[in-house]
Amino acid sequence: MSGLLVAPLPSAPAPLLDRLERDLGRAFALPVRRSGPVAEPAGAWSETRGQWSATDFLRALVARLPPPPCRLLGVTEHDLFVPVLSFVFGQAQLHGRAAVVSLARLRPEFHGLPPDDPLLERRAAKEAVHEVGHTFGLVHCLDRACPMSLSIDLPDLDRKTAEPCPSCSALLEGSLEMQRARAQAEVEPR
Ligand SMILES: [Zn+2]
Ligand SMILES: [Zn+2]
């Protein structure tokens, strides 16, 4: 199965998922479908940090991967961390098939501002394109408008678009081409 599955982990607003799936489909030119909810992995909560382990979330998604080359993106409301950072907006397997995005810090209300759903949806879509881009082997881009540029804070994220820049698009096309060739080789063994 080709394409990308989007899984609420364990829940995310439906209009936000609609927007994110549309932008992912456009950025990667792949079919995007919604999967059923995925439960938080047992043991991912850190009492000392008051956050959830991004690595455990990614591991839980890897355990539920659909058949290759389909990718799986989890979208969670939970605030995620990795041990060396105070938080992460998301995490992905570079050249892998699993990625996760956290909505917690994308919400204006997390920062004491009034809720703004359209802003939250735009942020989530850009962050989703970024993490899924890593699964296609894309690394951080220096173009600040490109979704593959590194965001360490919300102003960084708000500066981006959801459309990969020409150079990331070219790399992505190469990666998709390789994926298609591999799938073709499996259909026609020689
Ligand atoms: Zn990144
Ligand atoms: Zn780029």
User: How would you write the pLDDT of the chain (190 residues) with one tens digit per residue?
Assistant: 689 999 999 999 999 999 999 999 999 999 999 999 999 999 999 999 999 999 999 999 999 999 999 999 999 999 999 999 999 999 999 999 999 999 999 999 999 999 999 999 999 999 999 999 999 999 999 999 999 999 999 999 999 999 999 999 999 999 988 888 888 887 776 5
3-class DSSP assignment, residue 67 = coil
In what order do the strands lie in the sheet containing 45-46? 45-46, 51-53, 80-81
pLDDT for position 113: 98
Catalytic residue among 121, 131, 173, 177: 131
CB under 5 Å of ion ligand 2: residues:
141, 143, 146, 148, 165, 168
> What are the helix (H) ranges across the chain?
14-28, 54-62, 117-135, 154-159, 166-187
Q: Say how far apart CA 103 and CA 83 lie, in whole Å.
A: 19
The pLDDT score that the predictor gives to residue 6 is 98
- In this prediction, residue 26 carries a pLDDT of 96
* Pick from 102, 99, 180: nearest CA to 138: 99
Kindly report the CA angle at 118 between 114 and 123, in degrees rounded to 5? 95
> Is residue 131 among the annotated active site residues?
yes
Ligand number nearest to the C-alpha of 164: 2
Q: Can you give the pLDDT at residue 23?
A: 97
Residue 25, token pair as written in the block: 């489909």
Strands 90-92 vs 98-102: parallel, antiparallel or unpaired: antiparallel
Handedness of CA 51, 24, 17, 3 (dihedral sign): negative
Residue 40 vs residues 65, 80, 110, 141, 170: alpha-carbon distances, Å: 15, 12, 21, 31, 35
pLDDT of the residue at 190 = 59
Q: Is the pTM of this model over 0.85?
A: yes
Distance 10 CA to ligand 1 centre (A): 23
How many Å lie between the centroid of ligand 1 and the Cα of residue 137? 11
